[in-house]
Amino acid sequence: MGWETPLMRASVDALIPGPGLRVLNVGFGLGIFDKMVAATQPAAHHVIEAHPDVLAFIASGPLAKSIAVHAGTWRDQIPLLIASGIQFDAIYFDTYAEYYDDLADFHRAAAQLLAPGGRYSWFHGGGASNALFNDVYKRIADADAEALGLNVEWTRMEMAPLGDATWHGVRRNYFSLDHYWLPVAIKPAVEVAAAKESRRPVKAE
């Protein structure tokens, strides 16, 4: 949604410090994140997107010629990317109606797809209607990423009240906190032996 624009801006700035990087975004949505990525002049810009309406929106939009689109669910597409041997300098994950187990699976995928020194982030929306629950999800994600050899840095961003008008016509209010924790997981520039968890295959649907 449009209110997420400042969060997308902060995520791009944290993940992509300069031009010429290889970027993967999972979940195109309104294209807010990817328009910002395109402005950084990446060496390669990949997007995984499953929704047919969004795929049509991408195909008819200004980014159609500059991004490589992988049509399908990330569970279908990620194993293909891993098998291809491609690596990314920056990865962002923001899909709708996923459970934490799905995010944990994607942590493992990101650890495999990241180049040494690469950065990975995700929309930290777990339990985002309750500060305590949101913090619990933060601690779990931090521990899971650390087990994969990724070092997570969290930045607190203060949030203005969204108000009822933001959610008019939306089935579920998925964020109602006065702050947002922005995660950035960094793969060490010199790879160390990864935990066994990181070598578990990503489960296909």
62-94 per-position pLDDT tens digit: 999 999 999 999 999 999 999 999 999 999 998
Confidence at residue 4, expressed as pLDDT on a 0 to 100 scale: 74
Confidence at residue 132, expressed as pLDDT on a 0 to 100 scale: 80
20 neighbors 43 (Cβ within 8 angstroms)? yes
Architecture field, domain 2-199: 3-Layer(aba) Sandwich (3.40)
Q: Could you tell me the pTM of the whole model?
A: 0.84
- What parts of the chain have a pLDDT lower than 70? 1-3, 96-98, 125-129, 159-177, 191-205
Confidence at residue 127, expressed as pLDDT on a 0 to 100 scale: 57
Confidence at residue 194, expressed as pLDDT on a 0 to 100 scale: 47
Question: How do the domains of the chain map onto residue ranges?
Answer: 2-199
Distances (CA, A) of 5 to 34, 96, 97, 131, 198: 11, 16, 19, 21, 31
Confidence at residue 165, expressed as pLDDT on a 0 to 100 scale: 53
Q: What size, in residues, is the chain?
A: 205
Tokens of 51: 């929704």
Contacts of 122 (CB under 8 A, 6+ apart): 92, 93, 94, 103, 106, 141, 183
Helix axes 100-113, 74-84, angle to 10 degrees: 20
Residue whose token pair is 């300069």:
18
